[in-house]
Amino acid sequence: MSASIATVKVETSVEGRVLVMARVFDAPRERVFEAFTAPERVAQWWGPKGWTLPVCEMEFRPGGAWLYCMRSPDGQESWGKSVYREIVEPERIELTDSFVDESGAAVEGMPVMDAALEFAERDGRTKLTSRTQFASVKDLEAVMDMGVVQGLTETWDRLEEYLGNETR
């Protein structure tokens, strides 16, 4: 399976079992990277437009975990847990992400994703590239059907707004 999806600001492609999304932010790499490193920061921007992050518990270190709950405007909840495999500041974050319940236990039958976030600075701006590998094309297609491209695009819109409003 190979496809390319046109979005306004986010470059998106599917390469076999890998979903690649990239976007350029008008902020230095250190600031973009820093937005991912602490729960009080992430809670301000993570999730699609209109969603909140009422639970955001994070231990940002290799082997540490991030447990989160995204809540939609109509009260629907989506729980996730990421375990950090590698962190190279301010260049890369590698993690395993999964759908979980409130206790952090994996939801049976839901895909587990291995993701790498790469932060590349160019002329004071940052290109953020997310590469997410799935166990199978079927798992990737299931997540695509859930609206991951729109959801991450809106999440990155919120990150852009957060970076623009951040006072230093």
107 SS3 class: coil
Give the DSSP letter of residue 48: S
Residue 130 is predicted with a pLDDT of 98
Average pLDDT in the 140-162 region? 95
Confidence band for 63, pLDDT divided at 50, 70 and 90:
very high
What whole-number distance in Å separates Cα of residue 15 and Cα of residue 20? 8
**pLDDT at residue 3 is higher than 50:** no
Determine the pLDDT at residue 9. 86
Residue 167 pLDDT > 70, yes or no? no
Give all domains of the chain, ordered by start, each with its CATH number. Answer: 2-165 (3.30.530.20)
Flag whether pLDDT at 78 surpasses 60.
yes
Q: Is the pLDDT of residue 108 over 80?
A: yes
Name the amino acid, one letter, at 92: R
79 Cβ contact list (under 8 Å, min separation 6): 55, 67, 68, 69, 70, 99, 100, 101, 102, 104, 107
- Measured CA to CA, the distance from residue 130 to residue 162 in angstroms comes to 19
Instruction: Report the predicted TM-score, pTM, of the whole model to 2 decimal places.
Output: 0.90
Q: Could you tell me where the DSSP H helices lie in the chain?
A: 29-34, 39-42, 137-145, 148-165
Give phi and psi for 142, each to the nearest 5.
-60, -45
- The overall average pLDDT reported for the chain is 93
DSSP state of 19: E
> Does residue 29 register a pLDDT over 70?
yes
User: According to the model, what pLDDT value does residue 5 have?
Assistant: 39
Other C-beta atoms lying within 10 Å of the C-beta of residue 152: 21
And the tokens for 106?
């994996």
